């Protein structure tokens, strides 16, 4: 788990936008969807792709729809809850 947190914190710290632009959020979703530098986690991927899509990234919408096909209903609900929580604090 520490490896996940370090990768996300490093990504946000070193991304030019501070990790909050739609493109940066999309990239973060891809990290989790594809398992780049972190263990594959579709809940986290969906969360970040959802936030990116809500902020206008069209590629995030497509990827979010694609990975949701491989997720259980409870995982989708969890990802959506996590996205809402993140949005309320950022």
Q: Which residues contact 61 (CB under 8 A, 6 or more apart)?
A: 49, 53
Domain ranges, residue 53: 2-89
- What's the structural domain count of the chain? 1
Using pLDDT thresholds of 50, 70 and 90, give the confidence band for residue 15.
Answer: low
pLDDT digits (tens, 9 = 90+) for 46-75: 999 999 999 999 999 999 999 999 999 999
Residue located via tokens 């096909």: 69
- pTM comes to 0.81
pLDDT digits (tens, 9 = 90+) for 34-44: 998 889 999 99
């Amino acid at each position: 788990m520490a490896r996940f947190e370090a990768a996300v914190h490093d990504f946000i710290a070193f991304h030019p936008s501070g990790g909050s632009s739609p493109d940066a959020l999309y990239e973060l979703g891809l990290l989790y969807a594809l398992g780049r530098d972190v263990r594959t986690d579709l809940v986290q991927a969906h969360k970040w792709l959802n936030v990116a899509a809500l902020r206008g990234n069209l590629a995030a919408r497509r990827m979010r729809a694609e990975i949701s096909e491989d997720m259980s209903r409870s995982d989708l609900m969890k990802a959506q809850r996590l996205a809402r929580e993140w949005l309320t604090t950022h």
